């Protein structure tokens, strides 16, 4: 694999790693690990930890799909592998 191919995959894996980290922190961290602490804050009448576990993680997940598509398009254009 040439250097541009290696750089492309490094950028791609870096993006995927960041997206997965955010997804993990929101779904597992905010919904389970930090739920007791977040439950001291209320959003729309519900404890924030409960909100993240039930709905917030889904909203973040959908947002991450759009962020991934946008950033992946930028990486593809940068390395001239876009459609």
pLDDT tens per residue across span 70-79: 999 999 999 9
Q: Is residue 69 part of a domain?
A: yes
Q: Is residue 61 part of a domain?
A: yes
| Res 22: pLDDT | 95
Neighbours of 51 (CB within 10 A): 22
Domain that includes residue 54, residue range: 3-78
Q: Is residue 83 part of a domain?
A: no
Give the global pTM. Answer: 0.82
Q: Is residue 30 part of a domain?
A: yes
Rg of the chain taking only CA atoms, in angstroms: 17
Query: What is the mean pLDDT for each group of 10 consecutive residues in the chain (83 residues)?
Result: 87 97 90 90 88 88 97 95 81
């Amino acid at each position: 694999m040439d250097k541009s191919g290696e750089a492309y995959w490094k950028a791609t894996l870096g993006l995927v790693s960041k997206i997965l980290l955010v997804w993990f922190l929101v779904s597992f961290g905010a919904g389970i690990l930090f739920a007791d602490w977040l439950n001291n804050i209320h959003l729309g009448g519900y404890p924030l930890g409960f909100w993240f576990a039930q709905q917030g993680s889904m909203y973040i997940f959908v947002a991450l799909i759009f962020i991934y598509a946008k950033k992946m398009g930028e990486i593809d254009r940068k390395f001239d592998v876009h459609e």
